[in-house]
Structure 1
Amino acid sequence: MRLAIALAALALAVASCNKEPELSVKNASAEQVAAEVKRSGVARQTRLTPGEWQLTTETKLVEAEGLPEAAAAQVKASLERTMTESQCLTPEQASRPPSEIFARRQNSRCTYDSFEMAGGKIKAKMTCPGGNSGTMTMTMDGTYTPTRYTMDALMNVQAPDGAQSMKMSVRSVGTRTGECASAPKAG
């Protein structure tokens, strides 16, 4: 669930209609990507339109291997879902550079194998090293404008012993629906 929220935040951070400048980074930490986003000028031109936003995240389990059938069914039932929420994006929040979100939202041990952003499109591949939950690789592919984004992600998780694996796909869509219904909270 946190990963879906992080994807939505990442997509919010990179939404923009300006097609320039382009950014391409390879083999970098989240902090290095954030610095490159800032250095490249993308941060100055990458802004969402303030207002009320509807955020929808759909999570689908594609495959679970190495688990007993009942456990695989339980995992699938707990992960497959669609969540929709609304939030008011203040002018202050919309003015923040994406670099603030990249460094804070991602696991600091994760690295971007590649990160590209240009012309209303974003593509990335990230690897998060093993631990108790195993190694995860994630590919992301999305589009963005100041009033809408779509981000598709495919996550592959391999257990430390290699006996179990899981693949999930997540689609995050954000759409500006109008002005904020009530006074937004600061920050």
Structure 2
Amino acid sequence: MSIVKFTGAATLASAIALAACSSEPAADADGDGTITQDEVETVLANSDLTLSPGQWENTVEFVDIEFDDSQLPPEARGMIGPMLDAMRGQKNTTNTCITEEEAKEPAAEMFSGSDAADCEYSKFEFGGGSIDMAMTCKDPQSGSATITNTGSYDETSYSMEMKISMDASEMGPMQINAKAGGKRVGDCAE
């Protein structure tokens, strides 16, 4: 799994900060100490999630990337370091139209991550304008990532700090600190 997939999963998971209800059911429904994707989706499906419909602008910024290139072959060291340096401070902005229907009943996968990812949550709390979640995602080819998201939201904006600790088998450990934010910027274009 590439950095893009892990950060994509983090971004998608952090979108939960867009809206939530403070009376949500417990995420670990079966009490086994692990919060599965299915349990997260159940929490979201049974909550009063609401968004303000319209055009949303979402931004992810890579604040810092720590990486030890000593585990790389010498020929790769000169390429990976500059590539990661170029990512520091980079902002990626996307725009999404949230329709009236989507705002009333947002799809669970929009807020929690992909069913295709092998992820388990150790924490999944949202409500009252704040979010605090942690998950570990695994990929047999490229290692694992632990992702934490903390932040705040209201109906028209959100702000998140994301920490991603990757243990990529080919590249060794990597730490990524990122910020995500979004806001409603107007009506959707017709």
Shorter chain as normaliser: what TM range? 0.7 to 0.9
Tell me which residue corresponds to 2:61: 58
Residue 85 in structure 1 maps to residue 94 in structure 2 = yes
Which residue of 150, 156, 167 corresponds with 2:159?
150
Residue 47 in structure 1 maps to residue 55 in structure 2 = no
How far did 1:117 drift? 1.2
Q: What secondary structure, in the 3-state scheme, does the structure 2 residue paired with 1:105 have?
A: coil
Q: Kindly indicate whether the alpha-carbon contact (under 8 Å) linking 1:11 and 1:149 is maintained by their aligned counterparts in 2.
A: no
Q: What secondary structure, in the 3-state scheme, does the structure 1 residue paired with 2:118 have?
A: coil
How far did 1:6 drift? 3.8
Encode CA deviations 1:81-131: one digit per residue, 9 max, x unaligned: 211233322112222335243566254311111111121111111112352
How far did 1:9 drift? 3.4
Q: How many residues are aligned here?
A: 177
Q: What secondary structure, in the 3-state scheme, does the structure 2 residue paired with 1:129 have?
A: strand
Task: Read off the aligned partner of 1:159 and give its amino acid letter.
Answer: A
Q: Kindly indicate whether the alpha-carbon contact (under 8 Å) linking 2:59 and 2:92 is maintained by their aligned counterparts in 1.
A: yes
Q: What secondary structure, in the 3-state scheme, does the structure 1 residue paired with 2:117 have?
A: coil
Closer/same/farther in 2, CA of residues 58 and 103 from structure 1, 3 Å limit: closer
Q: Kindly indicate whether the alpha-carbon contact (under 8 Å) linking 1:23 and 1:117 is maintained by their aligned counterparts in 2.
A: no
- The alignment yields a C-alpha RMSD, in angstroms, of 2.6
Q: Kindly indicate whether the alpha-carbon contact (under 8 Å) linking 2:9 and 2:113 is maintained by their aligned counterparts in 1.
A: no
Residue 129 in structure 1 maps to residue 138 in structure 2 = yes
Encode CA deviations 1:16-71: one digit per residue, 9 max, x unaligned: 26543464435122122111333xx42xx211100121111112342001346524
Separation of aligned partners in 2, 1:17 and 1:141: 14
Closer/same/farther in 2, CA of residues 78 and 105 from structure 1, 3 Å limit: farther
Q: TM-score with structure 1 length normalisation?
A: 0.79
Separation of aligned partners in 2, 1:4 and 1:17: 22
Q: What secondary structure, in the 3-state scheme, does the structure 2 residue paired with 1:110 have?
A: strand
Residue 166 in structure 1 maps to residue 174 in structure 2 = yes
In structure 1, stretches of 5+ residues that fail to align are none
Q: Kindly indicate whether the alpha-carbon contact (under 8 Å) linking 1:6 and 1:105 is maintained by their aligned counterparts in 2.
A: yes
Closer/same/farther in 2, CA of residues 91 and 8 from structure 1, 3 Å limit: farther
Residue 10 in structure 1 maps to residue 13 in structure 2 = yes
Tell me which residue corresponds to 1:101: 110
Separation of aligned partners in 2, 1:157 and 1:6: 13
Tell me which residue corresponds to 1:37: 44
Closer/same/farther in 2, CA of residues 84 and 97 from structure 1, 3 Å limit: closer
Q: Kindly indicate whether the alpha-carbon contact (under 8 Å) linking 1:55 and 1:173 is maintained by their aligned counterparts in 2.
A: yes
Closer/same/farther in 2, CA of residues 4 and 134 from structure 1, 3 Å limit: closer
